[in-house]
């Protein structure tokens, strides 16, 4: 059964016309998502880009049976930066980085072959690889430009306010952690505070869950 999962995964990795898209939340309680684009090759190598910056890497991948069928990104790549214990590499915490992982347990391959479902090996978090589109690669540069529009001075908090009618919500976001914090008064005695991870898109920041406020739901 383990071998069947590995074979099924390996068979479809190279079949995606535009590679694979991986929106990865390493820890939704502390960090938001990074989006990776990958193209797997028959020789156990893959090309990778991400929305963290304009870097690209070529690295290796393999399969093992250490905890069932496991896809392992072997050599150092952009994905490894989220696990790098050196804070100078990507700004993560010393010793743990962003709690990123680079080994994933294969759970299932969609019958349509356009999605592969995994659990992270250590924390058992569900993650998924989906077929990328040509647009994902073409618009990656727009993600970098969008990120620059949201750059902040870390010496001073960067606050926003959203007003709808006579109601006002407070918003603070961390670009480094990719987390957003929304707070508003629901009544004279109750304040609602929401902490959400976000991912970067060419059109702005996308919250992991929609936020309802003043009769409007926004992401």
SS3 annotation, 17-34:
CCCEEEEECCCCCCCCCE
DSSP code per residue over 149-207:
HT---TTS--EEEEEETTEEEEEEEETTTTEEEEEEEEETTEEEEEEEEEEEETTEEEE
Q: Which residues of 155-176 are buried (b: 16+ CB within 10 A; e: fewer)?
A: eeeeeeebeeeeeebebebbbe
Determine the pLDDT at residue 155. Answer: 59
For the chain, give the number of residues.
219
Q: In the numeric block, which tokens belong to residue 77?
A: 């790549």
Determine the pLDDT at residue 23. Answer: 96
User: Digits of tens for pLDDT over the chain (219 positions)?
Assistant: 889 889 999 999 999 999 999 999 999 999 999 999 999 998 999 999 999 889 999 999 999 998 899 999 999 999 999 999 998 888 889 999 999 999 999 999 999 999 999 999 999 999 999 999 999 999 999 998 888 887 766 555 567 888 889 899 998 888 889 999 999 988 889 999 999 999 999 999 999 999 888 899 989
Determine the pLDDT at residue 119. Answer: 96
Q: Residue 200: CB partners within 8 Å, gap ≥ 6?
A: 33, 34, 35, 51, 143, 146, 147, 178, 206
Q: In the numeric block, which tokens belong to residue 3?
A: 């071998």
Determine the pLDDT at residue 162. Answer: 85
Determine the pLDDT at residue 157. Answer: 55
Determine the pLDDT at residue 6. Answer: 92
Beta partners for 194? Answer: 182
Determine the pLDDT at residue 42. Answer: 87
CA distance 105 to 168: 44
Determine the pLDDT at residue 196. Answer: 93
Determine the pLDDT at residue 156. Answer: 56
pTM: 0.90
């Amino acid at each position: 059964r383990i071998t069947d999962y590995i074979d099924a995964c390996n068979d479809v990795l190279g079949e995606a016309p535009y590679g694979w898209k991986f929106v990865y939340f390493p820890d939704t309680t502390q960090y938001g998502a990074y989006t990776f684009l990958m193209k797997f090759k028959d020789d156990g190598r893959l090309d990778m880009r991400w929305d963290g910056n304009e870097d690209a890497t070529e690295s290796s991948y393999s399969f093992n049976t250490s905890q069932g069928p496991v896809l392992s990104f072997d050599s150092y790549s952009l994905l490894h930066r989220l696990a790098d214990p050196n804070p100078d590499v990507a700004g993560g915490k010393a010793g743990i980085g962003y709690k990123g992982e680079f080994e994933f347990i294969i759970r299932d391959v969609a019958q349509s072959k356009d999605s592969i479902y995994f659990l992270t090996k250590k924390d058992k978090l569900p993650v998924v690889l989906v077929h990328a589109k040509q647009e994902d690669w073409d618009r990656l540069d727009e993600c970098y430009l969008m990120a620059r529009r949201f750059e902040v001075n870390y010496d001073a908090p960067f606050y926003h306010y959203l007003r709808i009618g006579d109601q006002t919500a407070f918003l603070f976001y961390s670009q480094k952690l990719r987390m957003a914090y929304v707070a508003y008064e629901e009544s004279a005695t109750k304040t609602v505070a929401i902490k959400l991870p976000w991912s970067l898109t060419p059109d702005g920041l996308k919250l992991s869950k929609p936020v309802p406020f003043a009769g409007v739901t926004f992401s």
